[in-house]
Chain A
Amino acid sequence: MPTDTAVESAEVAGLDALELQPKREKGALGKRVWRSAWPKFLAIAIVLLIWQAAVWSEWKPIYVLPSPATVFTDLGNVITTADFWDGVRVTMTRAFTGFLLAVVIGTIIGALVSQFAPLRAAIGSLITGLQTMPSIMWFPLAILLFQLSESAILFVVVLGAAPSVANGLISGIDYVPRTWLRVGQVLGMRGFAKYRHLILPASLPSFISGLKQGWAFSWRSLMAGELLVIVPGALSIGVRMQQARDLSDSSLVICYIIVVLIIGILIDVLFNTADNALRKRWGLLGS
């Protein structure tokens, strides 16, 4: 039967074609952007409206609660000064150094804890405890240890973020599916190769959520730190905000709140992009 293989081949190919999902059109880019953007614009408009209504009702004197128009004019003036960008640079340098340090320390601790059972028994619950601890509690000690210096801020930022990073890695390693571990065993993975080809890639989604949470904690700790620990000469966003408060300049204080909010949102978008890209590669997104 010479045509047998040809028939079989066609059967297999036909079945494959039937079982694969037909590709669907996603629609034009502009339309998709608009669809995800308009609810956000609407939310901002509602907030501004409520704010403006509060101003109109003269609930507080206008120099304590300025109108949105005043604040946005001030914001426009502030962000065009080189001074402001210097402040952003100081703050972001601290944020990134602190966060990177926390990632390194958290990853090492997480890897060690997930590897050695006695270590887990010893400090596993301590890590979770540290995670729930409000970071502002550390500042008095940090100031005593490091005086009013960059190190005091860094110390608290790292303490805030490292436990989340470590926990993300630990739970990622703990929840590697059993079937994958069995495959690793069948393929003869051992020691370093097992980590390189199985454990680390498999724990990546959980690690990324750990990083995201770690960033949120370090950003909060940093803002608290900049208001409490004023290092001479470093005019960070926090210091500038404190100065505005000292001058009773409500409008400027609100400007800095908006700046911090926007930075927070931008970084969050970065993490979400990474997270979504990974989920898409893994097929974890409903499409």
Chain B
Amino acid sequence: MSLLQQKTGSVVRLENVSKSYGDLLALDRVSLTVAPGEFVCLLGASGCGKSTLLSLVAGLDGITGGTLDTGGRKVSLMFQEAALFPWLSVRGNVELPLRLQGVSRSERRQRAEDLLGIVRLTGFADKRPHELSGGMRQRVALARALAQDADILLMDEPFGALDAMTRDILHDELERIWREQQLTVLFVTHNVREAVRLGDRVILLSSRPGRVIEDYAITHARPRRIDSPEVSGQAAEITDRLRAEVARHAH
């Protein structure tokens, strides 16, 4: 156990993190901690820098100011597009992170089989990505992310491009996998109900620049439903707050 973990019990810790691109300030002194096994949703309107924040945590981009500490943990990132490689089969895509880690062929195959089982795609291993539906591709992308064996799973609007029915079912799936695999998830969305449906906490960000304006604890019992009165009620409350924030930008 690292010193950081003993001190704070967090896997991701941001303290006054700022990020600017030239003159444009994208994130302004954002502070945020994520505990192990926690499901945290980042919510905000356009221009709140939520995707930027994930890129910083994933180490794809450098911070301009403040402290960002993941304690050297492995981080995996999923996007709105599944972005599977078309020259590989479903199995090949899931095996790719293992191949890059130098895992042996037989072990790779076994792990990929297990991971496809977790996302309920056993039997689709030899298909090509283009033969699958959008929701199935996104599950393959999840299996690929899990194959990285990361401690932190970052998700950048992963269900944004899916239809409502598929999204509902994938919410159930993600919740189950998060629970079974004991993942720590940082999930970006602009869909308030989705955030309340999934998160232990919902962090509301302001726009231009992105700042943390609210940190809601979501305590409803799981498994939840997106259309349950509790979820809808709290979503309505958060939506009002978000709308007030958006209205602030109308000059």
CB within 8 Å for A15 and B135 given contacts A9-B120, A201-B85, A282-B87: yes
For B100, list chain A residues within 8 Å (CB). Answer: 187-189, 193, 197
How long is the Cα–Cα vector from A208 to B60 in the complex, in angstroms?
Answer: 32
Interface contact B85-A283, CB-CB below 8 Å: no
For B58, list chain A residues within 8 Å (CB). Answer: 186
A132 at the interface (CB under 8 A from B): no
B243 at the interface (CB under 8 A from A): no
What are 18 A-B pairs at a CB distance below 8 A?
Answer: A11-B169, A15-B165, A15-B166, A16-B133, A16-B136, A19-B134, A19-B136, A20-B132, A177-B83, A179-B79, A185-B60, A186-B76, A186-B148, A187-B96, A187-B97, A187-B100, A197-B96, A201-B85
Q: A12-B173, A187-B97 are in contact. List 4 more A-B contacts (CB 8 A).
A: A12-B120, A19-B166, A197-B96, A284-B86
For A179, list chain B residues within 8 Å (CB). Answer: 79, 81, 83
A182 at the interface (CB under 8 A from B): yes
B131 at the interface (CB under 8 A from A): yes
- Residue total for B at the interface (Cβ-Cβ under 8 A): 33
Least CB distance from B137 to A in Å reads 10
Interface contact B130-A180, CB-CB below 8 Å: no
Interface contact A283-B166, CB-CB below 8 Å: no
Chain A residue at smallest Cβ distance from B119? A12
Least CB distance from A184 to B in Å reads 9
For A5, list chain B residues within 8 Å (CB). Answer: 176
B105 at the interface (CB under 8 A from A): no
A183 at the interface (CB under 8 A from B): yes
- Residue total for A at the interface (Cβ-Cβ under 8 A): 31
Residues of B124-155 at the interface with A, using a CB-CB cut-off of 8 Å, are 128-136, 148
A281 at the interface (CB under 8 A from B): yes
Interface contact B173-A19, CB-CB below 8 Å: no
Interface contact B130-A283, CB-CB below 8 Å: yes
Chain B residue at smallest Cβ distance from A280? B128
Least CB distance from A194 to B in Å reads 10
For A202, list chain B residues within 8 Å (CB). Answer: 85, 87
Interface contact A182-B87, CB-CB below 8 Å: no
Q: Show the binding face of A for B, using Cβ within 8 Å.
A: 4-5, 8-9, 11-13, 15-16, 19-20, 177, 179-180, 182-183, 185-189, 193, 197-198, 201-202, 204, 281-284
Chain B residue at smallest Cβ distance from A285? B130
Interface contact B60-A283, CB-CB below 8 Å: no
How long is the Cα–Cα vector from A197 to B101 in the complex, in angstroms?
Answer: 13
How long is the Cα–Cα vector from A9 to B176 in the complex, in angstroms?
Answer: 11
Least CB distance from A213 to B in Å reads 22
How long is the Cα–Cα vector from A183 to B132 in the complex, in angstroms?
Answer: 19
B99 at the interface (CB under 8 A from A): yes
Interface contact B83-A19, CB-CB below 8 Å: no
Least CB distance from B212 to A in Å reads 25
How long is the Cα–Cα vector from A179 to B83 in the complex, in angstroms?
Answer: 6
For B85, list chain A residues within 8 Å (CB). Answer: 180, 183, 198, 201-202
How long is the Cα–Cα vector from A86 to B165 in the complex, in angstroms?
Answer: 67
B215 at the interface (CB under 8 A from A): no
For B128, list chain A residues within 8 Å (CB). Answer: 281-283
How long is the Cα–Cα vector from A197 to B60 in the complex, in angstroms?
Answer: 19
How long is the Cα–Cα vector from A251 to B165 in the complex, in angstroms?
Answer: 70
Chain B residue at smallest Cβ distance from A17? B133
Interface contact B136-A186, CB-CB below 8 Å: no
Residue among A187, A204, A281 with the most chain B CB within 10 A? A187
Interface contact B130-A197, CB-CB below 8 Å: no
Least CB distance from A4 to B in Å reads 8
